[in-house]
Structures are given as C-alpha cells and as structure tokens.
Structure 1
Amino acid sequence: METPSSDASAPSPWADAERIVLGRDARGGAVAVALDRGGEHGRRPLSSTELPVWVSAREAEGAATGRGIRWVWSSTAAWYSALLGAGVRVSRAHDLRLCHAVLRDAVPSASALREATAWDGAPAEAGPSAGALFELDDLSGNGAAGSRRPGRDGVAETVAELLRQDAAVAQAAHPGRMRLLLAAESAGALAAAEMRAAGVPWDAEHHDRILRDALGDRRAGGAPARMTRLAAEVREALGDPALSIDSPPRLLRALQRAGIRVESTSKWELGEIEHPAIAPLLEYKRLARLLTANGWAWLDEWVRDGRFRPVYIPGGVVTGRWASSGGGALQLPRQLRGALRADPGWRIVAADVAQLEPRVLAAMARDERMAEAARGRDLYEGIVAAGAVRTRAEAKIAVLGAMYGATTGDSGRLVPRLRRVFPDAMALVDAAARTGEEGGVVTTWLGRTSPPPDDAWRAAQARASRSGASPADETRALRIGRDRGRFTRNYVVQGTAAEWALAWLADVRLRLTRLAPVDSGEGAPRSGPAFARRAHLAFFLHDEVIVHAPAEHADAAAEALREAAEAAGRLLFGAFPIDFPLDLRISDSAAKD
C-alpha cells in the first residue's frame, strides 16, 4: 500500500487502477483508494492543496498509459467544483448518488443497495470540504450498510457503495445497457459541473436593452412604463379603475362583471375572447412574466462579470431529464437568447436536434417505415409523404398525441392514422400505456425505471374492485388508470430521448478536449482556469447544446457536435437506420431568427 509522499508524480500502482475512489477519513481529510479487478491495491491521504495536483497527475498518467481512470466519488456536485477551481478536469467519473437512484429503482433484487438508504438523499452542491455526506464510526468497511450513521462521505462506505452497485448492475435485466446508462448519467454530472464553472457567456448590457425595449425604462418601486400603460388600458376597458391586474381572483371577477364569460385568466382561454380588454391584458401578462422570471432582478442576482451560472440538477426529473434549482436555465425565453453572447474573439456554436423524441421512438420500436420518413428530412414532412396525414401541422399533432396519449380533438382523430401507417412505433407506446394503466412499471431503452403507482392509484383501484363499488368509483379508477397510462406512454420515449441527449453531450465534451487550447489573444478568463483558452460546453437544454469556442475552433466545434450526434445514435441503437439531424449555427450570440 502506497505511503504519503510530497512528490505527486512519483511511480506508484495508480497507473494500474481501473477506478480511483475519493472519500474521507474520520477527520474529514481526502483519501484516495485505487481499485482494480483484484480489489484495493493503493491508498493515499491527501490534503486540500495536494488533491488537485495529485488528481491532475493521475489523469495524465492514465492518459499516457491509454487505460484512463474512472474517478468514483459520492457526488460530482460535492467533489468536482474544487478541482475545476484549480483548473483540473477529469475525463471520466462514477457519481455514486446519481447511480444509486437509477439502480435502486431498476434492480429490485439488489436488496443490499436498496437498504443503503443514506445514499437516497440529494447531493451536496459545495466543494469536497463542505456539505459532508457520511461520518463513519467504522472505517474498516466491514459493517452492514444500515449500521453507519449519516455524516461525511467516508472512504470505507464509499467503496462499499461502489461494490453494492457493481453487484446490482450484474443483476440488471440488461447489464450492458445499465452500465452505459450509469456512465452517461455520471458524464452528465461532470458536464453540469463544468458548465456551471465556465458559466454561460452573458451580455448584461444587451439584456438590459432587451428589457427596456420590451418593458420601458426601469422604475424603482413601480411597474415599467409600458406595463403601466397597458394596465391603464385594461382598467378602462373593464370599467374598473382600481383593478389589481396581478391578482387572478380580482381580475377574474372584473372580467365576469364586464360580461366576459371565462372560468380562468389563462391566456389560452382569454385568447378565444373578443373584447377591447383582452389584447392589452394578454400583452401585460406576457411582459409581467418576462419581468418576473428574467427581468432586472434576475439580471442583478444571476449575472456576474459577464457570466450566468445556473445550477443544473442532472436526473432531476423522473424520466432522467435535467432540472434546475437556480436561475431558470431550462426556461430561458426566446427573446433573451441574444444576450447569450460570445466573448471577443470567441463564437457561440449552437446545435439542436430536430424532432428528437419521435426519432427515438422509431429507433426503439425498430419501425423502419417511420425511420424512412425521418431520413434526411423533416420527420413531419416525411409522415405526410408516407400518407398518414395531409399536412405537416396534422403530422405534428398526431405524433404529439401518440406520445402523450391525447384521445380527443384533432389528436384523437389523427392518431389512428399513425397506427395504420406506423404500427410498430404505435405498438410500443400503446403497450407502455397499458402497463401503466394496470399498475406496472416501464423502462427506458437503457433501463431507467418509472416510479410505481402512487397511493391515489392504488386506493382508486381498490375501491373500484370491491364488492358493491359504485359507477362513480369505477369511473374514477378508470380515469386515474388512464392518467397513469399517459404518463408511462410518454416515459419510455422522453426517458430514452434524455439518454440519447446525455450520450450526445458526453461525446461532445470528450471531443472538445481534443482541441488544443489557443495560445493567442486574451482568451476567455471569465470562464475560469479550466476553460479560459479552450472550447467548452456552455449550455444544455434537453435537445440543444451550446459551445463557447475560440473563433479559430468554431468549425471544429460544430463538427464535434455533428459527429457526436451520429455516434450517440450508433451507441444506443446500433445499426438501425435512424438519423439525428442538427440545426447548427455559428454566431456571436445564441439568438434565433
């Protein structure tokens, strides 16, 4: 076993490690443990100043041998930020908390892993010296999973959890796919941490101009000028000079007093009404949303030194999609995209996938007719060409209805046409819906498993099944069952699309590291020491990736995005002939026409 040394690059057994675990000792200090197929063969304590230097040396060592290293830690959010702050990146990692959540639901037979409930909580967002996850009484790693009290992420328990996860993967229905899912999930966590460290390049002055153009001048303690004028128009049209437009109950009563028959103040319902108050009211509501979600208060709070640094939550949605716990990165309005602007001498390289979810559905179902409709063109136009519907608008309505279980209106009329022309794709989502209605769980392509039915579903089915159940009981059970069927119908598609997107993101990330850092110009120092001179991921939104790249590397970054999309399709779906075309743009900003 290796002993501590001040020489971070001294010869050691670390080059032979397949995985290196980072955990904590009883005093909170970092400890690295090298693991290969034979078990542990190296252990080293590291101070906070030694850690980034030592990790950097091991990364270089792994690259030189061609083996690479996979770092294993309790949470990427908890460990990686300190390394990035020191300018150190890692190629691969295994995020135990994210992977625990996947395996806990996907492998019911893995009882030891399911009993390790201390790993069920949300990860810390601080660096490795804060937000401790486990405090161990027994550092030998011999106790039962449930015998450890919560506290710091102790090295023995971290190793024990890794071994539990290894055993669970072996019990999965498709171990190969599960390993791919865990690798993609962990790679996404690395990307999320890196994007937060680098930040989204943001032009605060341009954002301010957008707000002024839309809202009028900023006013302390009052609504902007344009909103004030619109509010006055609404009050006059409704004959209520004291109306509080921002109060939905009061607004609804004012609308009804004016003879406008509406049940809510939603824009969808108001948009069907002809009245002088409606147009200014809808415009007021649109501007109010902009002011509240991304107005000057948002700009003051979230943009510092030319960067917006959102807080991503990988796997934050049950389907595997990301969520955000700060800054609203996943809800940025289209009109503000012009503020996402490259630094001088750099470019924004943006790519989004056309019709990702229906293309994924075609690949999952091995529906060759649907794949042919998508090949080399807009999928909805291909559906029209296949004779399923008459117009592109109808094709979009039909496909969304198929994936979300719509049974009324235009969707209800058009979905049966898809069922005749693309029976394999429709059979897949129909089967997922039936499973959900009956109380079963469904899985994505790689094995993420949907939650089981909730208490409301179980109670409704129990009431409907008992002797003497009323028609109302049966109707309610049927409705709740269909609601769950719509959820599982969409789960398999949205979850698999999220897996494809993670594979794409992970591949782009690695391809960008192969581009040499630039040695001319001032770089992008506000992106931090790890990214100041090299192309890097800046933004991710379900089916869109944005790269911030030196101008001389913009074309190479665009090619990396394109090649990674092709590779992600092959990785998940093998030789099945489905393509994932990108809308690629290289510009000074992320604005869309």
Structure 2
Amino acid sequence: MPTRIALVPDAHGRGGRLHRLTEAGEPLGAPLRTAELAATVAELEAAEQPRWVWASAESAYVPLLPVLSRLPGGRRLGRCHDLRLVEALLLAQEGRWGAPRSLGAAWARLRSLPVPADLPEAGPSEAQDTLFAPDRLQLPPGTDALAAVLAVHADQQERLRAIEDEAARSRFRLLVAAESAGALAAAEMAEDGLPWRAEVHDALLTELLGPRPHIPGTQPAKLAELSVRLQQALGGRPFNPDSHTQVLRAFADQGVRLNSTRVWELREVDHPAAELMIRYKELSRIHTAHGWAWQDAWARGGRFRPEYVVGGVVSGRWASRGGGALQIPRILRRAVVADPGWRLVVADAAQLEPRVLAALSGDAAMARGAAGGDLYQALAQTAFQGDRDKAKLGLLGAMYGQTSGDIGPLLATLRQRYPVAMGYVEAAARTGEEGGIVTSRLGRPCPPPSDAWLDLAEGAAAAEPGEPGGRSTRARGRFTRNFVIQASAADWALALLAALRRRLAGLAGPGGRPHLVFFQHDEVVVHTPAELAEQVGAAVAAAAEEASRLVFGQTAVRFPMSTAVVECYADAK
C-alpha cells in the first residue's frame, strides 16, 4: 500500500489533483482528478492513512479544513510532508540558511531558473481563498503545480538520504516529520479557535481602562487620567508617555537619570512617578495589544483564532502573524472560558530547558536530579546546601551565559558537581565564539555568523574586554550556548504536539472530540468534552513520555507535565 499521496488544489473551485507515491517519492500510476477534493481526501484518509505531500499547509490543508470539519466526526488528516517547511530545514542543514523556500523557489533551483524571493507569510484567512494559492506557490507561469510537487518532494527525499551519519539522518527525519505535523496542528488551532468570551473581555477592559471610547484612536478614560497624573508628578509639563525619549527627558528634568523605561529599572527609582509609569505601561500594553481593536480583529464569533508561524524563530520556536497568540496577559485569561459541558485541559512542561540540558549532555548526576519532581530543589540538596534560589540562579546563568555579580561562585560549584553538563554548554559557547555552527538534538542548525561579525571577530583575539570584537564573539558564544538547549526544547515540544494530536484523534464522546486550541513554547491547551477530561490528561502525560523517548532516547531524565482541568484558563495557574 502506498504511504504517500501528493495533493494540489485547483486554483478555482473545490476540486484538485492527487498522485500516489512510494516512500522514496516515485509516482505510482496516473494522477487522479476530483471535483470534490475534500470528500476524496477524507475517503483516502479513512482507507489508507497516507502521508500527504503538498506545497504548504497554508496552500493545501487550510482551504480543506472548513469542509473536512463539517464531515461526520470532523475529519482531520493524520500526517503530512510540508515541502516549504522541509525545504527550509534542508537548506539550513546544507549551509544555505535563509534561501527562499517556496515550492517555486525549490523548483527553480532544480531547473537552474531564477529563484523567486519568498512572499510574506499568509494567514489562514488569506490561505482559505484558493484564488491566492497559485501566486503563493511562486511557480513560473505555465508550470504544472502537481509536477513541481512531485519533483521537489523526490529531491527532498534524496537529500534526506544523503545525510551520511545514520543516527543524524534518523533524528533529522524525525524533525522533518514533527515540523510538518506542527503545520497540521497550527492550521487546526486557527480553524477551531480558542474559546473567548467577548463580554468578559469587554468587562475586564472597562474595569482596567474605563469605557470603550466612542472615537477610535482616543485613549480610554482611566488611561488618559493616568497620563495626566504622570505628567503632574513630573513637573506638569505635557509630554507623550508613549514616547521613550520624552519620558526619559521628563524624568531627567526632575533629576532622575534613566537608561531606559524598562520596568526593572523603574522599580529602582525612588520617585512617585516611577510607579505611575509602570502602571501606565502595563495598561497601555493591554489597550494596544489586547484591547477593543484586538477583539474586533481577532476574537470574532466566540473564538480567538491564533495565526501561528511554525518554526518562525531560528531556534524552531513558533511565532505568530499578529494577535499576540504567544502572549495572552494573565488577567485577560479570564475571558478564555470553555463551552458549556466542556473543559480546558491546560498542561505545561515543568523546568523544560534545565531538563533538556540534563538529557542532552548525558550528565548522570544531573539526570538523577531530573528524574523526579523539582529539579532545582534536587540540585540544591546536592550542591547548594538546600538553597533552591542559588541552584536556579546558577543553572540559568550556565544556560544563558551570565557571569556577572554573584553568578561566578555558583557556576564554579556547578562545574565541580556537574562537569559533563557544564562542559556541554561551554563547548557550544566556544563553537559559537569561533564562528562555528551548533545544532539542536534533532539537527536544526543555528544561523551562521554574519559577515560583519566575521570582520569583528578577526581582531577579537587581540581585543580588550570592552572592545567590539571581544564583545561580539562573547555574544555569539552566549547565543550558541543557549541555542542548543532552546532549540532542543523546541524539538521536544514539536514531538509532544504531534504525539498528543495523534492521541486526541482517538478520543471521542457524546459531546464531540477533544482538540488542541492553544500552544506556546512549553504549554498546550486542549478543549474537551468534560467527560473526556481525565483521558485527555492521561494522553498529555503519555505524549510527553513519547516525545522524551523519541528526541532523547533512553534517559533517566523525566519531563513531567503540570496539568489542570478548568472551565476558565485563568484558574489553571
């Protein structure tokens, strides 16, 4: 039975074309044309569970989702090979970081044609309009899209087979599969949406900011009042509290010298305007990022529909196209309320990055500490006389390259107690300082140094500690030190998403099926019928164990998930 089916929607209408493939990417038989692509895809998914091959989830899966969701049981597809995401991974792995990754770009490279630049990311709302799909593929006029998909897929499979080291090839294939699965999950979360109570959101905004202004672009009453109080506290001269420069000048006029308006610096200031400025920044951020304009644009129909960018950060972490999908303020989580008869299962990985370090490095002593509950407390008992704060501060300093202040003695203790783990991050830092490339556990490489960095680094050996060359090399060392951990944590999170999504597909109750509705770095939220909440919690735990095994192999390190079953997101913490 074939394991792969290439899929290309028609430019107009509901039809499309499909072609069965071998695992290596060789076409089997003749292509199939259908006038009802979603129905045909659903039938093939039920019968064969293939891995779908397409230019991108945005161009192929997103337009199908509304129809698939209306089919009995809300049919979803299990696996895919996303050519655009895989092309980006392969280009980076081959040292061609940042080269265009669209289907048209990959096709052009195969045919020695001019390579088109990538277009800006499309959101699901745009991708659902199939009129845009051919343009976004970036193919030359007259090119057969299905032929291009087949050719690029076959080329990618060949490039994957060309990775010489067998273990590295196996891990990179897992990254390819997990990244593609992430595209499925991202599209489905945008389609399903996070339950959002507009009336609760409006009440919260009114409580914090005052009534919604009748004139767009004007400040709410409480924010405007706070602005006046802030000006009065700084001498009464009018200034714009949203202007960094004007705020610094207003404080300076009162004899208070600030380097920035960051909250931590304002907290050090003994002046009544400092607390007012902190409060103004908090409320202004809510008004700008998640106020009424945000609600109008992003929280329609009782759902917030996040638009994720899979692998949008160089470490493999996701980004978003807008809407603050990765930064919902804690106070506004009160607006995230499950539907009647449903619950939210909120789960996050405890101390993920320190556990990743323990698993990556293979440090047996640190792994023993990470085999139980609180990793910081375990390290404190063995290395810091029970002082958990020192253990946490030292370990974070090791992962992020912090050496100033009181960190030095803590790092010395960590080097003595956990030499393998400390050696791992310090080796990654040296590689970065020398201009080298480090990778995540599954093989995602970091970006190479820029030409400007290389120019500075040439004189770094002779540079004084404060000179640009020395600062530049140390900064890259800090970047690569943390990259190996953060990117490997992103590997694990992708594997978790894929494993959990697969498990949720097997659960169903009288009220419906549970589904992922939110994801941010190390936290997932599942919207589930109440009677399935306990099973969803078990699925989360099992998915975390599977992700750990897939990414890190046999390790004593455990990656526990803190799970809460709630009606309101704000009650999960």
Normalising by structure 1, we get a TM-score of: 0.86
What is the match of residue 71 of structure 1? 52
What is the match of residue 404 of structure 2? 408
What is the match of residue 430 of structure 2? 434
What is the match of residue 71 of structure 2? none
1:228 is aligned to 2:220: no
Distance 1:165 1:225 in 2: 57
User: Does structure 1 retain, via aligned residues, the 8 Å contact 2:11–2:130?
Assistant: no
1:583 is aligned to 2:569: no
What is the match of residue 3 of structure 2? 18
Map 1:174-213; keep pairs closer than 5 Å: 174-213=168-207
Closer, same or farther: CA 464–474 of 1 in aligned 2, 3 Å: farther
Q: 2:149 aligns with which of 158, 163, 176?
A: 158
Q: How many residues are treated as equivalent by the alignment?
A: 545
Distance 2:40 2:54 in 1: 16
Shift of 1:435: 0.6
User: Does structure 1 retain, via aligned residues, the 8 Å contact 2:345–2:526?
Assistant: yes
**CA offsets 1:111-168 (integer angstroms, 9 cap, x no match):** 99794555966664413833335799xxxxxxxxx9x737877111111111111111
Shift of 1:386: 1.5
- AA aligned opposite 1:80: Y
Shift of 1:281: 1.8
Q: Secondary structure at the match of 1:213?
A: helix
- AA aligned opposite 2:146: V
1:491 is aligned to 2:483: yes
Closer, same or farther: CA 20–408 of 1 in aligned 2, 3 Å: same
Closer, same or farther: CA 389–411 of 1 in aligned 2, 3 Å: farther
Distance 1:453 1:72 in 2: 33
Distance 2:86 2:186 in 1: 16
**CA offsets 1:346-373 (integer angstroms, 9 cap, x no match):** 1000000101111011101111211211
User: Does structure 2 retain, via aligned residues, the 8 Å contact 1:371–1:578?
Assistant: yes
Distance 2:464 2:353 in 1: 36
What is the match of residue 470 of structure 2? 478
Q: 2:259 aligns with which of 259, 263, 277?
A: 263
User: Does structure 2 retain, via aligned residues, the 8 Å contact 1:132–1:153?
Assistant: no
1:57 is aligned to 2:54: no
Q: 1:508 aligns with which of 500, 506, 509?
A: 500
Shift of 1:42: 3.0
Distance 1:266 1:328 in 2: 20
Distance 2:214 2:547 in 1: 50
Closer, same or farther: CA 375–463 of 1 in aligned 2, 3 Å: closer
- AA aligned opposite 1:98: L
User: Does structure 2 retain, via aligned residues, the 8 Å contact 1:25–1:155?
Assistant: no
- AA aligned opposite 1:205: E
Closer, same or farther: CA 292–565 of 1 in aligned 2, 3 Å: same
What is the match of residue 449 of structure 2? 453
Closer, same or farther: CA 267–37 of 1 in aligned 2, 3 Å: closer
1:251 is aligned to 2:247: yes
Map 1:111-510; keep pairs closer than 5 Å: 115-116=109-110, 117=115, 124-125=122-123, 126-127=127-128, 129-133=130-134, 149=140, 154-172=145-163, 173=165, 174-221=168-215, 222-388=218-384, 390-462=386-458, 471=463, 475-510=467-502
What is the match of residue 86 of structure 1? 67
Shift of 1:550: 0.6
Closer, same or farther: CA 109–321 of 1 in aligned 2, 3 Å: closer
User: Does structure 2 retain, via aligned residues, the 8 Å contact 1:32–1:43?
Assistant: no
What is the match of residue 550 of structure 2? 571
Closer, same or farther: CA 151–97 of 1 in aligned 2, 3 Å: farther
Q: 1:34 aligns with which of 20, 33, 36?
A: 20
User: Does structure 2 retain, via aligned residues, the 8 Å contact 1:316–1:322?
Assistant: yes
Q: Secondary structure at the match of 1:435?
A: helix
Closer, same or farther: CA 463–366 of 1 in aligned 2, 3 Å: closer
Closer, same or farther: CA 488–257 of 1 in aligned 2, 3 Å: same
Closer, same or farther: CA 24–342 of 1 in aligned 2, 3 Å: closer
Q: 2:85 aligns with which of 95, 98, 103?
A: 98
**CA offsets 1:504-531 (integer angstroms, 9 cap, x no match):** 1111101011012x335xxxxxxxxxxx
Distance 2:545 2:120 in 1: 33
User: Does structure 2 retain, via aligned residues, the 8 Å contact 1:389–1:414?
Assistant: no
- AA aligned opposite 1:553: L
Shift of 1:432: 0.8
User: Does structure 2 retain, via aligned residues, the 8 Å contact 1:133–1:150?
Assistant: no
Map 1:543-554; keep pairs closer than 5 Å: 543-554=522-533
| Percentage identity across paired residues of the two chains | 46
What is the match of residue 521 of structure 2? 542
Distance 1:234 1:134 in 2: 51
Closer, same or farther: CA 158–435 of 1 in aligned 2, 3 Å: same
User: Does structure 1 retain, via aligned residues, the 8 Å contact 2:11–2:133?
Assistant: no
- AA aligned opposite 2:60: W
Q: Secondary structure at the match of 2:321?
A: strand
Q: Once structures 1 and 2 are overlaid, which stretch shifts more, 313-322 or 82-91?
A: 82-91
- AA aligned opposite 1:163: A
Q: Secondary structure at the match of 1:160?
A: helix
Shift of 1:542: 0.5
User: Does structure 1 retain, via aligned residues, the 8 Å contact 2:266–2:275?
Assistant: no
- AA aligned opposite 1:211: L
Return 5+ residue gaps in structure 2 as ranges.
Answer: 69-74, 100-104
User: Does structure 2 retain, via aligned residues, the 8 Å contact 1:200–1:307?
Assistant: yes
Return 5+ residue gaps in structure 1 as ranges.
Answer: 1-15, 63-67, 137-145, 521-532
What RMSD, in angstroms, separates the aligned Cα atoms of the two structures? 2.7
What is the match of residue 46 of structure 1? 33
Closer, same or farther: CA 269–372 of 1 in aligned 2, 3 Å: same
Distance 2:253 2:12 in 1: 68
Distance 1:285 1:164 in 2: 51
Closer, same or farther: CA 53–271 of 1 in aligned 2, 3 Å: same
User: Does structure 2 retain, via aligned residues, the 8 Å contact 1:388–1:421?
Assistant: no
